[in-house]
A and B are shown apart, each in its own frame.
Chain A
Amino acid sequence: MADPKYDVIVVGAGAGGGTMTRVLADQGIKVALVEAGPMLDPQKEFKTHKWLHDYGHRGTEHGGKAYFGKGQAYGFLRTINGGWELDGEPYTSAPGTRFDWFRSRIVGGRTNHYGRMSFRFSDLDFKPYSRDGIGWDWPFSYEDLAPWYDRAEEFIGVTGTAEGIRSAPDGKFHTPPEPKAHERLMRVAGKGLGIPFIANRRAVITRSINGRAACHYCGQCGRGCLTESNYSAAQVDIFPAVKTGNVTLITDAMVREVEVDSEGLARGVVYVDKAGRVERRLEARAVVLAASACETARLMLNSKSKHFPDGIANGSGLVGRYLMDTVGFSLLGTFPALENMPRYDTDGFGGAHLYAPWWLWDGHGKLDFPRGYHIEMWGGFGMPEAGSFTPIARHAGYGAELKRLARQMYGCLIGLSGRGEMIPNNQTYMDIDPDTVDRWGIPVPRFHFSFSDYEWRQARHMERTFRALIEAAGGKVLGIANPERENPGIAVPGSIIHEVGTARMGDRPGASVLNQYCQAHEVRNLFVADGASFVSNPDKNPTLTINALSWRTAEYLSEELRKGNV
């Protein structure tokens, strides 16, 4: 092999790539971190503590384009640099199926705006097949990953309380903030129904660590946090890693493929330098893909060579297969007890202060679906935005009644969202669209997606449960929230943005793409550090597990480099 400038190329600067880069750099390993989007400048781009009246357009963007469905996904104040559609970067879906693909092209990726729910998978989650005969087991157990969860949580900072609930293992927690008034109401309602609402586990620090300030409860995590009080890969992993001097960060670089040498080992990557629209090459001893599950699979499938005519490390034919998102369903209630409630600051630490982990984990024998879901909650006195009062205004007509009704109804709603486990199925996968390339000349993904009865039955269970909760708390159900996304009774595939599972790990090379260290079975110097490696998609938001797995993979890779095996 050549004598490259870099030891490792990491593709993608999100949660997985950020963790990988930091852990390697801390050990003196030279990393080229390649990101498809631009550099992030928090001081310039984070709209922390801004008001909408700081902008003439009040957040509706130039010419009010948000009124016409052309505004930034998740609103003007959020830090995203991406969305459901990117200019010149299409993706396609097979006839009759739909998958909405959210891409965030920027250093830090989707960790700049994500919900920061940080839940460990449980021992049950790693051995699903052993329990119910559906899907596949992971190639390791909870005990194997627990130390890496410990490290990830201690480093990132996650709130929570020890509860001893088997489906929601306890971790190394920061003290959570107390529950808000409407959350307490729902907690008591849950108690009566046997549903435990416990302190939310979010990647927010409530005491200072590693030079990062404790949370100041402005509730704006999605805008990016200038005090670094929440986890974002850019601020917590990548910027410190760059300071070691061991990292070369290459931005606006869209990786096209992994190149192999004459022995079929990864030699490096080919990328398109977006600024000049020219192809460039990088070489290193190892390549780590962390571009997001679907970008990683796309990259692998597009990396065709004499050794790998169907894509690199794809002898099993499983690259792109068993794509999963999370089962989503939401219901909303209005609560007379909350009308005209005395005002207080409900921003808190940027999400609900309570959530309900899956509580029927030992009751599946009596249910008509095999896996669980957790419940998220929303409500409170949110910052008024354009559109917040449009329906009230229409209902009232105009004038004095409009203002009165707005005051009365402000903050009187609670929403419940289920986030459930989808079972991997062979109708759901991505491949490469043979007819379409993007503006960088790279063939694009084509999605095929199908929920089974497992998911639909689970969503109906969510609906029944949420109705019972809302009514027990004295509320009135207002139908299905966000009907366009919930199509109509289950979230549009992809829209929960928990894409995982396109290059799953396992012990047998013919039945998996990666081994338990996320190393390709067929290419020993090729690794994956994003959600592509997931064997299943438990009802736990994936980022914390991506952090833990990436850390474990980084330590393994570092050791293999030291031994000369890679």
Chain B
Amino acid sequence: MSRTTGFVRVDSLSRRGAIRRIALALTAAGLPGGMDRADAADVHEAVEEERTFAGEYRVKYFNGHEFKTLERLSELIVPEDEGGPSGREGGAPEFIDLLASQNRELARIFSGGILWLDHTARELHGHAFVECSHEQQTGLLDALVEAERTDTGSNTARETGEYARFSVFGVRRPSGLRGGLEFFDWARRLIVDAYYTSPAGIKDLGFVGNASHSEYRVSPEAIAHVVERGPFDEI
């Protein structure tokens, strides 16, 4: 037998192409029994069953400004579009708050990251991040993405090897933003996870499983789609 949540693994891969990791992670969701393994298993730990969507979440760790910053980041990183609402609607700020309230490492990453973000925003624009204009905010996020692609040496880039090739070919460009990359990657990761595990994210993707059927049927439209675009006349 074999299979799981791919996320433990995905981050520890090194020096492999980005597309390869896309593949691994997507597969994780499609596996019958979880291909990957986590290391330890404290199993009968009491489960925090607090529902994020009950509408009465009480912020446990972050102060008001920090939480507001997480809300804004959740709107920017996973924005509302025709397929669904934003990461904020997906419960990302609450998810991050809950975990940070239970994990000092995450608390450091997020509190320190928000202070770094505000400091950087003030230096650039004279305001804390949430008070910057939309263009100023996306400009800063664009710069962070650019930094993780072209300025290797941060924890994130080293761990993932995602953009290692840039340094190999000598294209590395110092950004001055490396101190924010660990936070940016964690924020993106948790916001994305919160969104795609939320009812809105599930609907956005079109996942229609976790259901009961008296009989199992495969969609003829899906089969037609594969025939139309694939190498065989029929499947």
A: which residues have CB within 8 A of B? 38, 49, 51-76, 78, 80-87, 110, 113-117, 177-182, 184-185, 187-189, 216-222, 328, 330, 332, 334-352, 376, 378-395, 397-400, 402-403, 406-407, 409-413, 415, 417, 472-474, 478-479, 481-485, 495-498, 541
Interface of A is mostly: loop
The answer to whether A181 and B223 have CB atoms under 8 Å apart is yes
23 A-B pairs within 8 Å (CB atoms) are namely A51-B210, A66-B5, A76-B5, A81-B44, A83-B38, A115-B2, A185-B226, A340-B225, A342-B219, A345-B209, A347-B211, A381-B29, A383-B202, A398-B76, A398-B77, A398-B141, A403-B78, A406-B196, A413-B30, A478-B24, A479-B20, A484-B13, A495-B37
Contact for A69 among B39, B84, B206, CB less than 8 A: B39
Q: 10 closest Cβ contacts across the A-B interface?
A: A387-B7, A83-B41, A382-B29, A115-B1, A63-B103, A391-B21, A382-B30, A344-B219, A337-B230, A343-B206
Q: How distant is B220 from chain A, measured CB to nearest CB, in Å?
A: 9
Q: Which of B50-58, B118-126, B169-177 binds A? A: B50-58
A180 to B91, CA, bound (A): 33
Q: How distant is B225 from chain A, measured CB to nearest CB, in Å?
A: 5
CB-based nearest A residue for B216: A177
Residues in chain B near residue A76, CB distance under 8 A: 5
Q: How distant is A491 from chain B, measured CB to nearest CB, in Å?
A: 8
A71 to B41, CA, bound (A): 6
- Given the known A-B contacts A187-B235, A382-B28, A406-B205, are A56 and B49 also in contact in the complex, defined by CB atoms under 8 Å? yes
A81 to B44, CA, bound (A): 7
Contact with A along B29-68 (1 / 0, CB 8 A): 1111111111111111111111111000000000000000
- Given the known A-B contacts A54-B49, A56-B94, A385-B28, are A178 and B218 also in contact in the complex, defined by CB atoms under 8 Å? yes
Q: How distant is A339 from chain B, measured CB to nearest CB, in Å?
A: 8
Q: How distant is B157 from chain A, measured CB to nearest CB, in Å?
A: 10
- Given the known A-B contacts A64-B106, A483-B13, are A403 and B79 also in contact in the complex, defined by CB atoms under 8 Å? yes
Does B95 sit at the interface, judged by CB under 8 A?
Answer: yes
Does B168 sit at the interface, judged by CB under 8 A?
Answer: no
Q: How distant is A388 from chain B, measured CB to nearest CB, in Å?
A: 4
CB-based nearest A residue for B60: A56
The answer to whether A181 and B5 have CB atoms under 8 Å apart is no
The answer to whether B226 and A392 have CB atoms under 8 Å apart is no
Residues in chain B near residue A384, CB distance under 8 A: 29, 196-197, 201-202, 205, 207
- Given the known A-B contacts A53-B197, A71-B41, A343-B207, are A184 and B223 also in contact in the complex, defined by CB atoms under 8 Å? yes
Interface centre among A58, A180, A189, A378 (most CB of B within 10 A): A58
The answer to whether B103 and A334 have CB atoms under 8 Å apart is no
A481 to B27, CA, bound (A): 10
The answer to whether A56 and B48 have CB atoms under 8 Å apart is yes
The answer to whether A482 and B48 have CB atoms under 8 Å apart is no
The answer to whether B226 and A75 have CB atoms under 8 Å apart is no
Residues in chain B near residue A339, CB distance under 8 A: 229
A128 to B152, CA, bound (A): 54
A69 to B39, CA, bound (A): 6
Residues in chain B near residue A71, CB distance under 8 A: 5, 8, 38, 41
Contact for A185 among B8, B98, B209, B235, CB less than 8 A: B235
For chain B residues 199-235, which have a beta carbon within 8 Å of chain A? 199, 201-202, 204-219, 221-223, 225-226, 229-232, 234-235
Q: How distant is A343 from chain B, measured CB to nearest CB, in Å?
A: 4
Does B182 sit at the interface, judged by CB under 8 A?
Answer: no
Q: How distant is A130 from chain B, measured CB to nearest CB, in Å?
A: 30
The answer to whether B32 and A222 have CB atoms under 8 Å apart is yes
Q: How distant is B213 from chain A, measured CB to nearest CB, in Å?
A: 5
